[in-house]
Structure 1
Amino acid sequence: MEEFLNKWQTLIGASLGAFLAVIGSLITYAINSANERRKERKEFLRRIEISITQSLDSTYKMRQQLKQIAQRIKDLATSAKAVTDSKTFCLDRVNFPPVREVYRDRDAPYFKVKSYYLHNKLLWIDAGIKEVNEINANFKSDFSDLIRQNELLVTLIKENQNPDPAVQRTAYVKNLESFANVIEEYIENHIPQGIEIMTQIKIYNEHLRKKYGCWFLWKHEGTKFKYFRNKTEQKKFSRNPDSLEKIDKVIQKEVDDAIKDAEERALKLSQEKQ
């Protein structure tokens, strides 16, 4: 009997030892995986900080470049309008350089940051930057088309028995002014939206990178009885634009202050270059 018990004790001990070893390995693996995910998320947040700063910087520089181009086009229109000689056509033109592209980190929308707010904003700004860069590239080709149309109009008017250069100059001035106005309206109405979203990303990301970033994330997006009774309700709410607006309001003052400071720096830099 004693020998039988000893065998069972040995068997149980061996089994328990193997079981504990497996459990220990699983726990170690889980801890290591959690640490790796935490490091990966930390790196994603760091990359977001760098990329969004570059995007903001290139946006302000791109905006300033467009302002200068629009002003040169308006000056050209003024110059063409000043021509009064009844026999003079206007073929003057200005150079339209390639517009600076806004920096775009193509990987950013795929970063796993555990924040539906940051994820959605990154998706929006990625699409927005892509659109802005395409629009800016089209400005140059559209202006080239305008110049070609003016040259064609000159050719057609010259073929008339009684050519009237004033007709060409008037049309050219109108087209130049319209083109400059389109650029200025684009600067005024479209670009500020992108700057605001990029600043929201920057401010929110800065909070997540701080020492108590996890607490900040849980406070505004976590499952809390105050807002969500369970994870299902939280996910449903996170897909609603109202969830983003709720967080927008939380950081609105910080965003406004950051944009104000950036605008002041941009103005100072533009004045120094003049």
Structure 2
Amino acid sequence: MPGLNFKLDRRVFLKAFSLSALASLWPGKAGSTVQFQNDERFPSHYIQNRDVPGFFIRSANPFPGVNMDEWSLKVKGLVENPQTYRYEDLFGFKMIAQTSRLKCVECWSAKAEWEGFHISELVDKVKPKPEAKYVAFQSADSYYESYTLDELLRDRMLLVLRMNGKTLSANHGFPLRLIAPFKYGYKNIKYITGIEFTDDRKRNYWADFGPYSVDGTIQPGIDHPLDYGKKPLSINGGEVFHFFDKRPDLKRKG
């Protein structure tokens, strides 16, 4: 599988996949996300779910991370100019920094400063055809997501390369992830390897294997922010802001 550090043992992968599907069916859990927490059935260097203070780590399928000697970003589908980008190419786009929360269906949220570029930068390069109404994402860990093109062109939707002033870590999506502040965390796909423009909606991982909607827009309810001791606070739906958060600010880096 391109982008992995070495060939993933088939039995390990199938075990991860089957456990992912089963975990999505377990009742009585907020969000019913997969609970790989330092699971000894997977090699110790695999990226797994961990409740790290400040920002929890969540991935659908434990995997060893991306091999940058093999990684590229392929942008294809209903476009006039398909493109393939190496990692260094992505820094040629106009960089933006913003602080926003990732809101998980498990009911917690975490805040970070994200740096990356708006998908309109890609749109200008690849020139989608008029019938291209949707965009599908593929990840190195076999995850996949989809959006309408209109959603992706909204403000504060970023393809992210850096987090809190540093290169994205493997745990948080290196080399490239999506930040969609008004969508639940499962829509914020990590380890992106492919982007495809389509005329119909492609599948979504957690709509296939869990109880979550394809849309994934954050609904009114309660949030337990990690930077507030997980104390419950009401939210109105859409992007999450609390009384101690700064309101949106876009800072162009060049």
Q: What TM-score results when the alignment is normalised by the length of structure 2?
A: 0.22
Of Structure 1 and Structure 2, which has the larger fraction of its residues in helix?
1
Which structure carries more relative contact order (alpha carbon 8 Å, separation 6+)?
1
Larger Rg over CA atoms: 1
* Structure with more strand by fraction: 2
